[in-house]
Amino acid sequence: MINERDNVATALVDIDAGPVNLGTGEVMVREPIRRGHKFAVLPISEGARIVKYGQTIGYATAPIATGQHVHVHNVADPLPKTRDEARQARLTAVGSEQRTGDGPPRPSRTFRGYPRLGGPAGARNLAVVVATVGCANFVVEKIALETGAISITHEQGCLQLGSDLQMTIRQLNGIIANPNVGGVLLVGLGCEAVQPRSLDIPRPDKKVKSIGIQASGGTRRAIAEGIEAMGEIWASLRQVERVPVPISDLLLGTKCGGSDGLSGLTANPALGAACDLLLDAGAGVLLSETPGLFGSEPVLLGRLPSSDDRNRLGSALDRVWEEAVELGEIMSEGEMSPGNVEGGLTTLVEKSYGATIKAGSRDFRGFLEMCERPSGPGAWILDAPGIDVVTISAEACSGAQVIAFTTGRGSPVGNALAPVLKICSNSMTFNRMDDDMDLNAGTIAAGEETIEEVGARIAERIIEVASGAETKSESLGHREFALARLGSTL
């Protein structure tokens, strides 16, 4: 049990029917309960609230006896069917200007990064080949293969209109601007909507070059020209060395994927404790994945400093909700994955409360639009889709140099621009997928470590990764990257 107000408990291991000691008393469990799943610790009448984290995570759709399994078969999501209630609540929300929640200031920390002129230092010093349009993907991949650079390909860049086109341009600009990128070769076709001149190329701190396949005379000549250009980029990268830089240069992206019933009890609160340590030392943290914020909205609104930021968050959630309705399903019925349900998560609200804690407990400095970069250290909410690869790519486009990714079911995903540190919620998955997992928070469930102890371990590992230590996803060669889209494909 997490909170004294809870009327459900979560099984930390598979348990059989029979008596279970909760520490505060004994409960007779009526049926086998799998690890990560919930059972009632009190009788719950039909229509009554299901309470976990001290918060309402659902409503009983049938009477639930003490010791009975509590899950999707007898629980409904508490999210309203429309956004009207949330809009009304937003009008009366009081933000963090009337709260005091920040921890005490701590001694300043440093990490060893690559200095950049006029911006934060990089945790890596990457040479990147970027397609400005999908037609250039083959040439980009060949240049990267021949030169050892990182390739970023996508299907966008042409026949896009308005805000959809601008979204692609902002993301490509974000790739160029990420502190981990030391040099960039942009490869276009020549007749597409997104030309290199459309991008924010002037960067005195890094080498940025561009070629066009049509202007080069076709595929073979463009590859040869690109290889030559990459030689200049590599030469410029070799002139930059790691030096101690203030931790205020560090921006950490947070993400959870493949979550289970233990994610909100172990990995996410431990990462949250790590984020509080880093924030108090002067670093920056991003909380993203807009579809995963439904349910935690009232708490998040109270941690935002201004009515403008609260309205921007609310508008982003309204937009996602309306997009889901247009696709034929409301968020509370469609956002949960089969793996989430199999792992013990019952409602989107339960998932949200257990997920948003991963960015710590400090007040947010503000709300950021997609690809918007923070104006300074502190905690920020970033609007981005919920798909794992797109979310962490969006965080990298907003300047994150390191990503901390919690998982319960297991995820191998990495990123082309930012090292991804995997934090596992349970020892079983950690041991089964040890090639992919960096840190085990399952020790919390086993009673071997506290949330604070694991959080301190995570914070130190994040600084080590920012200073050059390799993550498991990096060592395996995971370099996933994806751009978000708006609207339909023309």
Same domain, 165 and 303: no
- Identify whether residues 192 and 274 lie together within a single domain: no
Confidence of residue 100 (pLDDT cuts 50, 70, 90): very low
* pLDDT tens string 116-166: 988 999 999 999 999 999 999 999 999 999 999 999 999 999 999 999 999
Q: Are residues 203 and 315 in the same domain?
A: no
**Torsion angle (degrees, nearest 10) of CA 326, 331, 334, 338:** 150
The span from the CA of 266 to the CA of 10, in Å, is 12
User: In terms of Cα–Cα distance, which of 296, 290, 274, 405 is closest to 52?
Assistant: 296
The answer for 348, left when phi > 0, alpha when psi is -120 to 50, beta otherwise, is alpha
**452: in domain:** yes
Is 391 within the bounds of a domain? Answer: yes
Whole-angstrom distance, CA of residue 254 vs CA of residue 408: 15
Judgement on whether residues 232 and 256 belong to the same structural domain of the protein: no
Domain that holds residue 48: 8-76
**Mean of pLDDT values over 468-489:** 93
Q: How far is CA 143 from CA 165, 178, 219, 285, 409, in A?
A: 26, 21, 11, 34, 36
Single-letter residue type at 363: D
Spatial CA neighbour of 183 closest among 150, 158, 153, 155: 150
The C-alpha atoms of residue 144 and residue 154 are separated, in whole angstroms, by: 15
Tokens of 409: 């079911």
Domain boundary among 189, 208, 239: 239
- pLDDT tens, residue by residue, 375-415: 999 999 999 999 999 999 999 999 999 999 999 999 999 99
> In terms of domains, do 326 and 186 share one?
no
Look at 192-196, 248-252, 326-330 and tell me which has the smallest mean pLDDT. 326-330
User: How large is the average pLDDT for residues 468-477?
Assistant: 97
360, part of any domain? yes
**pLDDT reported for residue 98:** 44
Residues 229 and 270 in one domain: no
Q: Which residues contact 197 (CB under 8 A, 6 or more apart)?
A: none
Q: Which two tokens stand for residue 366?
A: 């503000």
- Phi/psi at 213 (5° precision): -65, -40
* φ, ψ for residue 302, nearest 5 deg: -70, -15
CA 474 to chain centre: 17
Q: Domains in the chain: how many in total?
A: 3
* CATH assignment of the domain containing 53: 2.30.130.110
pTM > 0.75? yes
Q: How far apart are the first and last CA of the chain?
A: 51
Residue 419 has what DSSP assignment? -
Which one of 190, 209, 239 terminates a domain? 239
Summarised one tens digit per residue, pLDDT across range 241-268 is 999 999 999 999 999 999 999 999 999 9
